[in-house]
Amino acid sequence: MAPSEHGWVWQVTALSVLLGVMLALAIQTTNRIKFLGLPSNRFGVSAATLSRYKDQNEKLQGEISELRDRVNEFRLSSTDGNRASDLLRKQLSDYEAILGLAPVKGPGLKITLRHSPVPRLPGTGPAEYLANSDDVNGIISELWAAGAEAVAIGGDGTAPQRFVIATTVQPAGDGVLVNDQVVKAPYQILVIGNPKELRAAVRMPEGIVSLRGLDTLKMIEIKESQHLVLPAFSHGRSAGNTQTKNQ
Amino acid sequence: MFFLHSPTAVVPVTRRQRTNKIWWPIAGFIVSFGIALAVWREGVPFAVADYLSLAVLAGLDSVFGGIRAGVERRFRGDVFLSGFLVNMVLAVLLVYMGAQIGVPDLYLAAVVTLGGRIFLNLSVIRRHSLERHPIRGEK
């Protein structure tokens, strides 16, 4: 029997088996492509179509990235002890402390300014022996310049008045007017900040204490304290005509 | 060669044997196709899918050509195997080249050529089959 009589059957059968496998794989792949909604005309996908898909892909990638960032933010705020709220609360607290809208405590100086107990010398006027609003304003200005963080002014029988941005110290009879409150001597200036730096600022040469001779006249007493407590500004004040620029 | 006692009986017996043998490749194809369809449900990677389809077409052409050569008693194993491989590679190469030079329809050349040959081979096989098993009343 010649080899071609039976040999062709097994060779063709073997390749037919292989062909059957290949055809099944091709059909399964095509079904999968259809199932995923991809273009079925695979050979005919033009460059324009491909480019459009690429653009859409990039756009969607951008959206994914943006949404992922937002998810991370929400996750942090929800799992990290409401971090965003805590940060806002801390920021608000700091602003209230700086603006005088909240009571504060800390180290600083307790400065007492009183009328001079020294007998009036000949050739001097009585006003020079009295503590006045200029003395208070001068001292407070030096304290702010030295890095004071919070200031309050009290007096004889008067609770300390928190010094805010709108606070003025004006002469009022035998005392001064602070936050619409009359404060009488001896005045007590409470200031929170670095005690050493604040003391150095008040005692600086050519400063208000030196020029006015407050030490000589024994009108000023400066004490350091580690536990000063300053009240909040207790008077209402609205923005009125003022608005933020972005409003 | 198959020579029986009667010259008139030689041809029908030999041709019937050859014609019956074409069912082996068909059976092998159907069985392997069914098994592969059930086993490999994921198919192949999409990057290969384009080439696989043309390779299947080239394989079909070679298999039908082999069957035809077998029934015509002029089958050569080396020609069959080399034709199977070269046709497949050529068809895949056409797809690849079409994608590279910006003529994606180049694969149509392989489709038309192979498709025409498949129909031609099938018609020859059919004719041989009809000659061995004539429809009642036909000579």
ipTM for the predicted complex: 0.75
Full domain range(s) for residue B37 = 7-132
**What is the count of residue pairs from A and B with beta carbons less than 8 Å apart?**
137
Overall number of domains in chain B: 1
**Nearest partner of B66 among B52, B54, B83, judged by Cα:** B83
Nearest in space to A201 (alpha carbons), one of A124, A132, A111: A111
Select the residue from B24, B52, B57, B75 to test the A interface by mutation, using most A Cβ atoms within 10 A: B75
What are the residues facing A189 on neighbouring strands? A111, A153
> Per the domain annotation, does B47 fall within a domain?
yes
pLDDT band at A107 (very low <50, low <70, confident <90, very high): very high
Q: Which of A213, A3, A23, A191 is nearest to B29 (CA)?
A: A23
Of all residues in chain B, the one with the smallest CA distance to A44 is B104
Residue B86 lies in a domain: yes
Nearest CA in chain B to A35: B42
**SS3 state of residue A144:** helix
Per-residue model confidence as pLDDT tens digits over B56-73: 999 989 888 888 888 888
Instruction: State how far the Cα of A112 lies from the Cα of A188, in Å rounded to an integer.
Output: 5
Which residues in chain B touch residue A34, judged by CB atoms under 8 angstroms apart? none
The answer on pLDDT for A42 being more than 60 is no
B47-65: burial string, b at 16+ Cβ within 10 Å, e else: eebbbbbbbbbbbbbbbbb
Beta strand segments in B12-133, E: none
pLDDT for residue A106 is more than 50: yes
Q: Which of B13, B48, B56 to mutate to test the interface with A (most CBs of A within 10 A)?
A: B56
Q: Which residue has the tokens 């099944």?
A: A24
pLDDT at A240: 67
Q: For residue range B98-121, what is the model confidence (pLDDT) as tens digits?
A: 878 888 788 888 899 999 999 999
The answer to the question of residue B138 being in a domain is no
Q: Which residue has the higher pLDDT, A118 or B15?
A: A118
Confidence of residue A94 (pLDDT cuts 50, 70, 90): confident
